Chain A
Amino acid sequence: MAMIDEPLYPIAVLIDELKNEDIQLRLNSIRRLSTIARALGEERTRKELIPFLSENNDDDDEVLLAMAEELGVFIPYVGGVKYANVLLPPLETLCTVEETCVRDKAVESLCRIGAQMREQDLVEYFIPLVKRLAAGEWFTARVSSCGLFHIAYPSAPEALKTELRAIYSQHCQDDMPMVRRSAATNLGKFAATVEAPHLKVDIMSMFDDLTQDDQDSVRLLAVDGCAALGKLLEPQDCVAHILPVIVNFSQDKSWRVRYMVANQLYELCEAVGPEPTRSDLVPAYVRLLRDNEAEVRIAAAGKVTKFCRILNPELAIQHILPCVKELSTDSSQHVRSALASVIMGMAPVLGKDATIEQLLPIFLSLLKDEFPDVRLNIISKLDQVNQVIGIDLLSQSLLPAIVELAEDRHWRVRLAIIEYIPLLASQLGVGFFDDKLGALCMQWLKDKVYSIRDAAANNVKRLAEEFGPDWAMQHIVPQVLDMINNPHYLYRMTILHAISLLAPVMGSDITCSKLLPVVINASKDRVPNIKFNVAKVLQSLIPIVDQSVVEKTIRPCLVELSEDPDVDVRFFASQALDSSDQVMMSS
């Protein structure tokens, strides 16, 4: 290959392709960077390829993004860790572009490289880079620098550490909200590397700045810091410094800040310990569950199970459960939907008695919700309740709701419930499938909407898989086969489809004795579409049944069909015959 004969070739191609007008070629060439570097060798990669890439920073975002990513794993190609510093300049440039995702990727790659660099190299190359970015004229550089401190800091000598903390503190008060946001986002990571005495003084004062920022967009990121810092501090410090902040945040004027608190609150419970949780966090959480803004209630409702798991059951029953009751009739369907998606998880937390007494009525009211998402969210998590209250009680109360959904006038709702039926079957067991549900499964095969019939055929197959051929022979197969006499050809086609799906599950014997005769019979149908589908089904049955059956029953039928007046029927019949020939030859 040219690559071996002519060492100049790859770099020439790369440069050529990197300048090509076609972005795809430029992208391909960046994606092949490691191949090219291997061909060039370590030294030329360091001296030619990397400098070339450093200059190539005004390209489409996609190319820059790919470059930022590739460079992150480039240490082996430049000669190992001792040369890792040569990778810093191009990434430093990428840290200043305006496109956020490129910068983020460049920062990620720099962190990856920095984490492997030798300590003296970090001091000599990496820390100066962080300082340069931090002093950057444009906010983009300063934004990127915030994400690098946690790599730079541990290796820095004492004086530099002081300087780095001071720089970070400036970032927390930068004129540009973008920089303050980045400082807030990365504070937890940085704090984790800072020594305990500085943590309590310097970092906490930065944290205070951020929590009092004028911009909601900064404050709400500081909420993240609460949980991160809370885990680093001793419990008593956490109670003293973080708890008041989070309680304040939970009453912030901005719903977006409260929304963040609602999402994070449960993480703080462990950090502050049980007593402050009971005295401060539970009341704060209850306020959020009753917040004026639906978005906040959605976030709070979505965390109700996680929160209850941390509390002892009495507290949960006493304080949280009343709110849950209110939320189950909330005016916002999205709140109810969020609640429905997690509420089943509360059953194991509360235990059997409380579940039956308190939760079950809520489940039932959510199951009757006018908004289908709410109902589906409940049904998809039924197994959790089953384990607590048992199947009898559950099926009594649930079945009517499921039947109602199964007959919903929106076909997408029907589709969703069909897709849950096999799951329900596996969760609730065979006893759950009484005649009513069985009848529903059959009814879907006759639905007006194709997607429903298709899903219903699949459903029949999956039920057979779940409960085994014997059960299927009793509860499904006869009913399905009955429907082959439906006067409408589209429904007869659905049955053919169901048969082809059922056959592999039911096995050779049942296929031959029960399914095959029905298919053969259908080959006499007056509608050509049925006939060529018969040909297709027969083809799919060939591998399942005995060779003798193929010879005796399937092939004669196919031969007959291959002489049909309809061209499509002839086509599929001869296709099936060909495939049976091949099976014969191979066996």
Chain B
Amino acid sequence: MNGGDEVVAAPPGPPQLLDWKFSQVFGERTAGEEVQEVDIISAIEFDKTGDHLATGDRGGRVVLFERTDTKDHGVSRRDLERMDYPIGRHPEFRYKTEFQSHEPEFDYLKSLEIEEKINKIRWCQTANSALFLLSTNDKTIKFWKVTSQETSLVARSRRVYAHAHDYHINSISNNSDGETFISADDLRINLWNLDISNQSFNIVDVKPANMEDLTEVITSAEFHPTHCNMLAYSSSKGSIRLIDLRQSALCDSHTKLFEEPEAPSSRSFFTEIIASISDIKFAKDGRYILSRDYMTLKLWDINMDSGPVATFQVHEYLRPKLCDLYENDSIFDKFECCLSGDGLRVATGSYSNLFRVFGCASGSSEATTLEATKNPMRRQVQTPSRPSRSLSSITRVVRRGPETPGVDANGNSFDFTTKLLHLAWHPTENSIACAAANSLYVYYA
């Protein structure tokens, strides 16, 4: 298996460069308006069909949006035409409802405040016309059912899965069996049955007997999209472990380990910090895993554990500034990543409300930088879609995005306070939803 060539088998030649356009913004900030901390978006997730989109925020709220362009929601086509809407179909959403998922709490035993901030949202299998989703803050996972009652939508908490995590929950993920899900914190991963909220099974425990021996924590975990027995989790040391739930009840030993050793020459004080993986995502077909660390996006083939099949530089230009980034804690920012439904592209966020889209198909050199504004291409430097240089003979392709960040060309300095951490790719179409502070932007191509 020679990875680079086989990233995607099907299409002949690299797919076209996508032309990204602004679609919608929700909660746009007016000039000079101050952002309330509680309004900052902390999670974004499309459902499996792409007909719904959910966001969570630091205030513990979950906001739901529904797609309007596929179903006729009362606005007739003629009305749309009269309003001179482009008929070219791309996902459009409208606000559906919102509810308070989590409240701030206080753990009296440990004297700890528990923030209401939503860390993750995951949509669940629809069992009837209602919508179901899981949301979690640092400690407690909740299962929500949203139904329309008469004219309004009502969200009811169906179950609360609490008291199973000593550390902060960083991930939740549904199993393809439709009845179980996992929740991961810094040191443990627990397996739940959706129907049972008072017990869970610990399946991974990396806590050392002596906490002083702790060198590595779990940063993210996700179930395989179709194999119910397989899950992957990433660590602060930059490794991804694939585990097989069939092997044993407590999966302390992994089936496969994916990591790329740093060249000893480039080792520095920051090496370990920037190696930490902030997010992993399986591609829809389950063969590839995308991971994001501070500097790069990496695409892994689960059949090849010798190294990533592709690496995309996201923050290479920040390397000289690592010291400053460490000083102001930015180096610990956790950027999410996502893959397109067809597996041909990957995306992740950056500073100054920028996000980047890379083509990962064989021969593609697509690398686009967009800004989360109404004019996404504003900041983009001319990076012509260079014809792929003859890299295809090399097994491991390191593709580089524009090395010179657009910023410097514009004479702006990077703004570390505006960071685009959360984004999600529509499951079936080329559409990306991303969060810039309290605003949700949707783009299409």
Interface residues of A (CB under 8 A from B): 58, 96-101, 138-140, 176-178, 181, 214-217, 252-256, 292-295
Hey, which chain A residues are within 8 Å of B179, CB to CB? 177-178, 181, 217
Let me know if B249 is at the binding interface, CB within 8 A: yes
Residues of B within 8 A of A139 (CB): 125, 127, 178
Contact B248 A98 (CB under 8 A): no
- In the assembled complex, the CB of B45 is this many whole angstroms from the nearest CB of chain A, namely 20
Complex contact B249–A98 (CB within 8 A): no
Known: A177-B176, A178-B178, A216-B246. A254 touches B229 (CB 8 A): yes
Residue of B145, B158, B248 with most chain A CB atoms under a 10 A cut-off: B248
What's the Cα separation between A249 and B189 when bound, in Å? Answer: 28
Contacts A255-B246, A295-B249 given; indicate if A58 touches B177 (C-beta within 8 A): no
Cα A58 to Cα B130 with chains together (Å):
11
Shortest A96–chain B CB gap in Å is 6
Closest-CB distance, A318 to chain B (whole angstroms): 30
Contact residues in A for B127 (Cβ distance below 8 Å) = 97-98, 138-140
Closest-CB distance, B5 to chain A (whole angstroms): 29
A98 and B246 contacting across the interface, CB-CB below 8 Å: no
Q: Determine whether the beta carbon of A292 is less than 8 Å from that of B248.
A: yes
> Known interface pairs A216-B229, A255-B247. Does A177 touch B147 (Cβ–Cβ under 8 Å)?
no
The reply on B100 being an interface residue by CB < 8 A is no
18 A-B residue pairs with CB within 8 Å: A58-B147, A58-B149, A96-B128, A97-B128, A98-B127, A138-B126, A138-B128, A139-B178, A181-B179, A214-B227, A214-B228, A215-B177, A216-B177, A216-B228, A217-B228, A253-B246, A253-B247, A295-B248
Contact (A98, B128) CB under 8 Å given A177-B228, A178-B179, A216-B229 = yes
Question: Which residues of B, 190-215, contact A by the 8 Å Cβ criterion?
Answer: 195
In the assembled complex, the CB of A145 is this many whole angstroms from the nearest CB of chain B, namely 14
Check if A217 sits within 8 Å of B249, measured CB to CB: no
Taken together as a complex, chains A and B put the C-alpha atoms of A109 and B127 apart, in Å, by: 21
Residues of B near A216 (CB, < 8 A) are: 177, 228-229, 245-246
Task: Tell me which residues across on chain A come within 8 A of B180, comparing CB atoms.
Answer: 217
Q: Which of B167-186 contact A (CB under 8 A)?
A: 176-180
Q: Mark B241-257, 1 if CB is under 8 A from A, else 0.
A: 00001111100000000
Measured CB to CB, the closest approach of chain B to A294, in angstroms, equals 7
Complex contact B130–A177 (CB within 8 A): no
Contact of B132 among A98, A215, A293, A294 (CB under 8 A): A98
Q: Give the distance in Å from the alpha carbon of A254 to the alpha carbon of B247 in the complex.
A: 6
Separation of A100 and B158 alpha carbons in the complex (Å):
12
Nearest CB in chain A to that of B145: its residue: A98
> Do residues A217 and B132 form an inter-chain contact, with CB atoms below 8 A?
no
With CB as the reference atom, state the residue of chain A lying closest to B228: A215
Residues of chain A contacted by B178 (CB below 8 angstroms): 139, 176-178
Number of A-B contacts (CB under 8 A): 66
Chain B interfacial positions (CB closer than 8 Å to A):
125-130, 132, 145, 147, 149, 158, 176-180, 195, 227-229, 245-249
Tell whether, in the assembled complex, residue A100 and residue B229 are in contact, meaning their CB atoms are under 8 Å apart. Answer: no
**Complex: chain A residue closest to B246, CB-CB:** A254
Q: Is the CB of A140 within 8 A of B128?
A: yes
Min CB–CB distance A225 → chain B (angstroms) = 18
Q: Which residues of B contact A214 (CB under 8 A)?
A: 227-228
Interchain nearest-CB distance for B227 vs A (Å): 8
Distance in angstroms from A183 CB to nearest chain B CB is: 14
Given contacts A96-B128, A138-B126, A178-B178, contact A255 B228 (CB under 8 A): no
Residues of B within 8 A of A215 (CB): 176-177, 228
- Contacts A98-B130, A177-B228, A178-B179 aside, 18 further interface pairs with beta carbons under 8 A come to A97-B127, A98-B132, A138-B126, A138-B127, A139-B178, A177-B177, A177-B178, A178-B178, A181-B179, A215-B177, A215-B228, A216-B177, A216-B229, A217-B177, A217-B228, A253-B247, A255-B248, A255-B249
A181–B247 CA distance with the chains assembled, in angstroms: 21
CA distance A292 to B248 in the complex (A): 8
A103 to chain B, nearest CB (A): 9
Distance between Cα atoms of A181 and B177 in the complex (Å): 10
Q: Smallest distance from the beta carbon of B159 to chain A beta carbons, Å?
A: 10
| CB nearest to A140 among chain B residues | B127
Please indicate which of the listed interface residues B127, B227, B229 has the most CB atoms of chain A within 10 Å of its own CB: B127
User: Distance in Å from the Cβ of B279 to the closest Cβ of chain A?
Assistant: 27
Given A177-B176, A216-B229, A254-B229, verify A100-B128 contact (CB < 8 Å): no
| Smallest CB separation, B98 vs chain A (Å) | 21
Chain B hits for A177, CB < 8 A: 176-179, 228
CA distance in complex: A253, B227 (Å) = 13
User: Please, which residue of chain B has its CB at the minimum distance from the CB of A252?
Assistant: B246
Q: For A256, give the chain B residue with the smallest CB separation.
A: B246
| CB within 8 Å for A294 and B249 given contacts A177-B178, A215-B177 | yes
Closest residue of chain A to B196 (Cβ to Cβ) is A100
Give every chain B residue within 8 A of A181 (Cβ-Cβ). 179
Q: In chain A, what residue has the closest Cβ to B147? A: A58
Q: What's the least CB distance linking A263 to chain B, in Å?
A: 15
Distance in Å: Cβ of B157 to nearest Cβ of chain A: 12
Q: Which residues of B contact A140 (CB under 8 A)?
A: 127-128
A177 to B229, CA, bound (A): 13
Q: Which residues of A contact B247 (CB under 8 A)?
A: 253, 255, 293
Whole-angstrom CA separation of A140 from B128 in the bound complex: 7
Closest Cβ–Cβ distance, residue A98 to chain B (whole Å): 4
When C-beta atoms are compared, the residue in chain A nearest to B250 turns out to be A294
Closest residue of chain B to A294 (Cβ to Cβ) is B249
Tell me, in angstroms, the Cα distance from A178 to B248 when the chains sit together. 23
CA A77 – CA B229 in complex, angstroms?
49
Taken together as a complex, chains A and B put the C-alpha atoms of A178 and B249 apart, in Å, by 22
